[in-house]
Amino acid sequence: MLETITRDIDAVLRRLSGQLEGRVSTQADEGYRAACAIWAKPVGRRPRAIVHCREARDIQFAIAAARSAGIPLSVRGGGHDWAGRALCDGIVLDLGGMRDVVVNADIAWVSGGTRASDLL
């Protein structure tokens, strides 16, 4: 049973990877450890995959993939989460590549991965 679930989740992640502007990192990929590192300390959570989002569609596809596979989903913005809440055992949406800031006279748009330094 567990092997079938794992195979199904792996198939969902492969399909997701083909749909994205960004990329999907798994534990077997180089850079995975850095992609799930948090600022203060390790928290012991090892995400099944990290989706490096580049645009809103990447987020939509990743949410649909997590739902279809029945696995947890969390969001990691551009800053630090010292408590480790940005990581889960399922799919982590890494918004660090979405750091756009657009300012007009009346309104500002700030993407999910924006850091304070981007606003300055």
Query: Which tops the pLDDT comparison, 23 or 79?
Result: 23
> Where in the chain are the domains?
2-119
Query: Collapsing DSSP states into helix, strand and coil, what is residue 106?
Result: coil
| Residue 63: per-residue pLDDT | 92
Report how far residue 75's alpha carbon sits from residue 6's, in angstroms, rounded to the nearest whole number.
22
Confidence of residue 2 (pLDDT cuts 50, 70, 90): very low
Percent of the chain with pLDDT over 90: 2
| Segment 31-40, tens digit of pLDDT | 788 777 776 5
What's the one-letter identity of residue 16? L
DSSP 8-state symbol, 70 = T
CA 15/CA 65 separation, integer angstroms: 9
pLDDT band at residue 42 using 50, 70 and 90 as cut-offs: low
Average pLDDT over residues 70-95: 81
pLDDT band for position 26 (cuts 50, 70, 90): confident
> Rounded distance, CA 41 to CA 120, Å?
27
Pick the CATH number of 2-119 from 3.40.190.10, 3.30.43.10, 3.30.930.10, 3.40.50.740: 3.30.43.10
